[in-house]
């Protein structure tokens, strides 16, 4: 790695005075857990840390430009990681390789599903007091059947997930895949361009995969516009989460205000 390449991606004038934060230390301590491929993390002072998994795979390279990316990733997970990228906290010469390495290592989908299932199907810890209404229902019956009847959904917010969707859709425990269209558009560098051709093509591709796999298809949209909801319905989406809590509260408040104004004006 040349000094020119490092400076191109680091871009910090005071890199020599850099000292890793505590949370960056936590992130570096987690990195050796990778199992597939390799990960190289280059800190702002030029220090390079490479971690190799036991199995061959993609090599992801991450240049840290601002230590806050560690806090955002540890607190916000993949969303925090992607938002940190959009804000310039880190960069990579090959984001596709980096995301592919992360996806393959986490085995995220399988682990997430197993965490919702009791042994022998999964790894869920026992303690379903609320699920059995604090003892009003039989715990053994819940373990045998109720816990298996849960609806399990996975959100699709990255083009890397779409690239791997055919394999992910094979998981028998996932009932529905839900698009997060704004973040999906952001993953290809077109944040909030939800209805533009590139994002539409990604979604159409994903819908075709999920239909073939017999999975329910969902979307989470903050809009309650009938045209927007019709758009998603016509795309083949059969599970639609529309609007937001604050919009519904605002709508109700406006209706009450309008009713009050009508009553007050009628008395004048």
pLDDT for 155 equals 92
Q: Helices (DSSP H) in the chain: which residue ranges?
A: 3-10, 22-30, 68-86, 95-106, 108-114, 139-144, 159-163, 165-168, 181-186, 197-213, 226-235, 245-266
Domain ranges of the chain: 1-106, 117-149, 152-268
User: What's the pLDDT at 187?
Assistant: 78
Query: Residue 11: what pLDDT?
Result: 46
**What does the pLDDT read at residue 214?**
97
Residue 152: the pLDDT is 94
Provide the pLDDT for residue 9.
42
Res 200: pLDDT? 93
pLDDT of 79: 74
Looking at residue 107, what is its pLDDT?
A: 67
pLDDT of residue 106: 57
**What is the per-residue pLDDT for 60?**
92
Is pTM beyond 0.85? Reply is no
Q: Which residues contact 267 (CB under 8 A, 6 or more apart)?
A: none
CA distance 84 to 101: 18
β-bridge pairing 48-52 and 36-42? antiparallel
Whole-number average pLDDT of the chain: 85
Burial of 77 (0-12, 13-18, 19+ CB in 10 A): exposed
Which residues of the chain, if any, have pLDDT below 70? 1-16, 30, 33, 74-77, 105-108, 267-268
The CATH class for the domain spanning 152-268 reads alpha beta
Distances (CA, A) of 259 to 22, 223, 250, 264, 265: 55, 24, 14, 9, 10
- Ordered DSSP codes for 172-210: TT--EEEE-HHHHHHTTT-TT-TTSHHHHHHHHHHHHHH
Give the whole-angstrom CA distance, residue 156 versus residue 206.
9
Pairwise CA distance, residues 154 & 180, whole Å = 10
């Amino acid at each position: 790695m040349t000094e020119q390449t490092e400076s191109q991606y680091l871009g910090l004038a005071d890199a020599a005075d850099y000292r890793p934060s505590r949370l960056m230390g936590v992130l570096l301590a987690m990195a050796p857990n990778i199992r597939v491929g390799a990960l190289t993390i280059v800190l702002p002072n030029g220090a390079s840390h490479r971690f190799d998994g036991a199995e061959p795979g993609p090599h992801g390279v991450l240049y840290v430009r601002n230590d806050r990316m560690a806090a955002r990733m540890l607190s916000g997970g993949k969303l925090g990681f992607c938002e940190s990228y959009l804000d310039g906290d880190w960069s990579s010469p090959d984001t596709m390789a980096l995301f592919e390495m992360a996806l393959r290592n986490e085995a995220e989908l399988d682990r997430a599903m197993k965490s919702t299932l009791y042994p022998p199907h999964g790894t869920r810890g026992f303690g379903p007091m609320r699920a059995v209404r604090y003892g009003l229902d039989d715990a053994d019956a819940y373990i045998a059947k109720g816990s298996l009847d849960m609806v399990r959904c996975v959100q699709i917010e990255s083009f890397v997930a779409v690239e791997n969707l055919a394999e992910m859709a094979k998981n028998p425990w996932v009932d529905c895949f839900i698009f997060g269209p704004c973040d999906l558009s952001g993953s290809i560098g077109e944040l909030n361009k939800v209805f533009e051709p590139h994002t539409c093509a990604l979604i159409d591709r994903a819908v075709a995969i999920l239909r073939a796999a017999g999975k329910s298809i969902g979307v989470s949209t903050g809009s309650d516009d009938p045209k927007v909801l019709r758009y998603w319905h016509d795309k083949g989406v059969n599970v639609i989460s529309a609007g937001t809590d604050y919009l519904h509260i605002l709508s109700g408040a406006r209706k009450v205000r309008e009713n009050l104004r009508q009553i007050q004006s009628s008395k004048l």
